[in-house]
Amino acid sequence: MEKTGRHPCYSYEAHHRYARMHLPVAPQCNISCNYCNRKFDCLHESRPGVTSEILTPDAALKKFVLVRKKIESLSVVGIAGPGDALANWENTRHTIQLVRQADPEIIFCLSTNGLMLPHHALELTGLGVKHVTVTVNCTDPVIGGKIYRHVHYSGHKYAGAAGAEILIRQQMAGIKILVGQGVLVKVNIVMIKGVNDLHIPEIAKELKGLGVFITNIMPLIPARGSVFENYPGTSPAELNKMRSMCQVDLRQMYHCKQCRADAIGLLGNDRSSEFRVEAGEKGASGLGTGRQARAV
């Protein structure tokens, strides 16, 4: 309760009372997902990975200070892309340090695909991060080969199942380290009909064995321009049936709104548009990534 009571993504009760903000300081990504549509500045689209700006750590601090003054219920600051937080480690680390200095009581969390998690897990805990979300769409590399086009790791590019195998290994190792350090780990799973949907209960069982706190099974958003653009979406009934099946093994999140990478406010009331101009200085422009699985 101490760790979840003020975190709207980890507690259903908290999401009615406490606000969060995402700081979009991580534009680069190290994997390529078939549900991903790389986009920058899409003001009218509400899905994870979409952002209207990329901030430097200093600009992120200014924005945090501004939002904290105007939203009294702000309890959580997260980094959810628009790429991968750990693929932009210097920006991520510096942002955490700056915000932590400004407000030692704020809850800090981040979202990651987990590829670099074993390399940074201990440093994250040293920075006081107690909530981490990892997107795990499969534990079978063959299925992963249908979801991930390629993975960039240690200077090499691995395609299909070979890349998925590396990613899965890194995810499991990183989650194990975090849980061992007392971090509450939430796992996001994108439910893709005909690809990984029948595999999801098996994923939940494996995650239970690792000590994961909660899973968030999310519907596929068939993003225009992505490989899965024409794949069928997942109905609320199908989604909740899957969540009920997995509830036997792991606590389930039912209130996810699949937020933008620059979301601000209560989960059901995104106020990010109020702060885009007021925030002032922006970071270097460039392509962000419409990575659906970056919900925090």
Token code pair at residue 113 = 């695909």
How far apart, in Å, do the first and last CA atoms of the chain sit?
18
Does residue 263 contact residue 272 with C-beta atoms inside 8 Å?
Answer: yes
In a domain, 2, yes or no: no
Does residue 204 contact residue 251 with C-beta atoms inside 8 Å?
Answer: no
In a domain, 281, yes or no: yes
Rounded mean pLDDT of the chain?
A: 82
What are the pLDDT digits (tens) for 114-133?
999 999 999 999 999 989 99
What are the pLDDT digits (tens) for 24-55?
999 999 998 888 775 544 444 444 556 667 88
Cis peptide before 82 (omega within 30 of 0): yes
- Please tell me the predicted confidence (pLDDT) of residue 1: 53
What are the pLDDT digits (tens) for 179-227?
999 999 999 999 999 999 999 999 999 999 999 999 999 988 877 778 7
In a domain, 4, yes or no: no
Task: Report the predicted TM-score, pTM, of the whole model to 2 decimal places.
Answer: 0.84
* CATH code of the domain in which 264 resides: 3.20.20.70
Pairing of strands 19-22, 264-266: antiparallel
Please state, in angstroms and rounded to a whole number, the distance separating the CA atoms of residues 57 and 162: 34
In a domain, 82, yes or no: yes
In a domain, 88, yes or no: yes
Residues of the domain holding 181: 14-294
In a domain, 33, yes or no: yes
Beta bridge partners of 22: 78
Structural domain count of the chain:
1
The total of other beta-carbon atoms located within 10 Å of residue 260's CB is 26
In a domain, 9, yes or no: no
Given a cut of 60, is residue 255 above it in pLDDT?
no
The DSSP-derived string for 143-173 is HHHHHEEEEEETTEEEEHHHHHHHHHHHHHH
What is the chain's Cα-based Rg? 17
For residue 291, name the pLDDT band (cuts at 50, 70, 90). Answer: very low
In a domain, 6, yes or no: no
